[in-house]
Every structure is written in C-alpha cells, then in structure tokens.
Amino acid sequence: MTTTRRWVLVLAVLTAVVVLLDLARPALTAPVRRTAATVLAPVQEALAGWDDDEVTALTRERDELSARFAELEADRDRQSDLADLERSSSWGDHELRPARVVGFSSGGTPAGERTVTIDVGSREGVSTDQTVVSSDGLVGRVRRVFPASSDVILLGDAGVVVGARFGPDGALGSVDARPAPGLPVRGPGELTLTALGDSPIRVGDEVTTLGSPDSIPYAAGVPLGTVTEVDPDTGQLGRTGVVQPHVDTDLLDLVAVVFVEPGRAP
C-alpha cells in the first residue's frame, strides 16, 4: 500500500468514527469534531506536497464521505420526526403515512384555497378527504390526489369547518375561520369556536376533532387548538370563543396522512 493510500485510509477511518459517534451520541459531536480537526491538521499539511491526481482522488473520497454523512444526518432527523409523530398520535390507533410538504398555495390562487402539496399520492394509497396531521395536531384534509403527490386544504381556510369537542366534558361545537357577524375581528391564524347549545366556553379549554363516519374527512380526537378568549354575548346563536390552533400552517414540514381500517371505530 502506498503512502498516499495509507493517508487516505486514515482520513476515511477518522471520518467514519466522527460520523458514527455523531449518530450515536449527538451531544458529543462538537468535541469529537474539534479532536478530529486537531488530528487531521498535520495530515492536511503533509498532503501539500502531493501531486494533483492524488489530491483529486482524496478530495473525491472526502466529498463522497461528506455526502454520505449528510444522508445519515438527514435520516436521523427524519427518524426523530417520525418518532414525534408516533408519540403524538395517542389520540387514536391509526396508521400514519409520513409525508413531506413540497409546495403550497395561498388563498389568493384561482382555486381560492389555502393548500399545501405533500409528496405522497394514490401510489401510496392516499385518497381524498383523509385527515392530515403533524406532531402538534390537525393540519387539514386531503383535497386532491395525484399519483405521486396530494393537495391538502388547511385548517383555517375560509371554506373549512370542523366539528369539535371542547372543555373537560367534551361539549360539542364547530371550528372555522370566519367569525359570525358582530364578533370581534380575529388575529392572524385565529379560529372561531361556536358551541352547540348553551355549553359554556372557557379560556384554556382544549379543542379536539369530533370525528366523522369512518373518520372521513376527520378522525376523532385529534388535537386542534386551545381557547384563548371568550366572545361577549351579542345575541348570536351559540356561544363563541377564539381558538389558537396547535399547528402553525406556515411552518409545516413533516406531516402524516391518517389511514383507518374500514369499519373500525375511531
């Protein structure tokens, strides 16, 4: 083995050690990187006298290792996100199909809807009106499906109304983005909870989805938001309040489509 190849092997081994330690113990990453940099500094100085072919070969191997390292980091982050999704789905025993948000459209589009595009579609078994969630709660429902992608209409779109339960007794109501005439103007992202009947609404009440037959379009018990303000009684039908959603739809990344077995109760 030539001296050049020995140094290449040393660099490869050291880089692999850094990668493995970074994946196994993220907290140790910084000191390991510093130590590796100190060890590699003399090696880098020694490489100064190599010819162009040797440097090119080493650079290519280094770049390949760096690319592999980036893939491993991305995979670790994805697994962490998936674990968060699984922990957050304690509201129901459903299969979750992970997806990434790859596009969006505002309410100013010709369709007039606030949607995001996710990277799963009919090839993965996705169909219209399935519930879409994130680790924080309800995102929306599938609006349109294509072979490799789907459009999701978001909670907070002007046309979306969701049946809900709220408070410790699970009172019935509905949540939508448009307050009834005479109610105060809502802030960005805020929704309106309208109680069914005379059920009281209190600040701090947790709001979850009521659920639909066969969980289409909304599975039951998905966290939706928290009541932050109760509206004054101005004679409207049903008491109302302001809901702050758990999900910030402007910051969506990893989401999941909810699959429910036919005939299974939500």
CATH number at residue 135: 2.40.10.340
Residues 73, 193: one domain?
A: no
Reference 155, options 134, 136, 135, 139; nearest CA is 139
Residues 127, 114: one domain?
A: yes
Residues 215, 110: one domain?
A: no
Task: Quote the mean pLDDT of the chain.
Answer: 78
Q: Look-up: residue for tokens 């995102």?
A: 139
Question: Can you give the CATH number for the domain in which 190 is found?
Answer: 2.40.10.350
Q: Report CA dihedral (192, 194, 200, 203) to the nearest 10 degrees.
A: -10
User: Does 184 reside within a domain?
Assistant: yes
Evaluate if residue 160 carries a pLDDT over 60. Answer: yes
Q: How much is the pLDDT for 266? A: 43
Q: How much is the pLDDT for 3? A: 59
pTM: 0.68
Provide the number of structural domains found in the chain.
Answer: 3
Residues 255, 142: one domain?
A: yes
Residues 255, 139: one domain?
A: yes
**Residue 173, H or E segment:** strand 171-176
Residues 182, 241: one domain?
A: yes
Residues 117, 176: one domain?
A: no
pLDDT digits 0-9 by tens, 186-228: 888 899 999 998 889 999 999 999 988 888 999 999 999 999 9
What is the domain range of residue 214? Answer: 161-246
Does the bond joining 217 to the residue before it have cis omega, within 30 degrees of 0? yes
Q: Look-up: residue for tokens 């066969």?
A: 214
pLDDT category at 109 given cuts 50, 70, 90 is low
**Size (the chain), residues:** 266
Residues 144, 103: one domain?
A: yes
pLDDT digits 0-9 by tens, 219-241: 999 999 999 999 887 666 678 99
Residues 32, 81: one domain?
A: yes
User: Does 110 reside within a domain?
Assistant: yes
Residue 175 pairs in a beta bridge with 162, 193
Residues 126, 255: one domain?
A: yes
Contact 132, 142 (CB under 8 A): yes
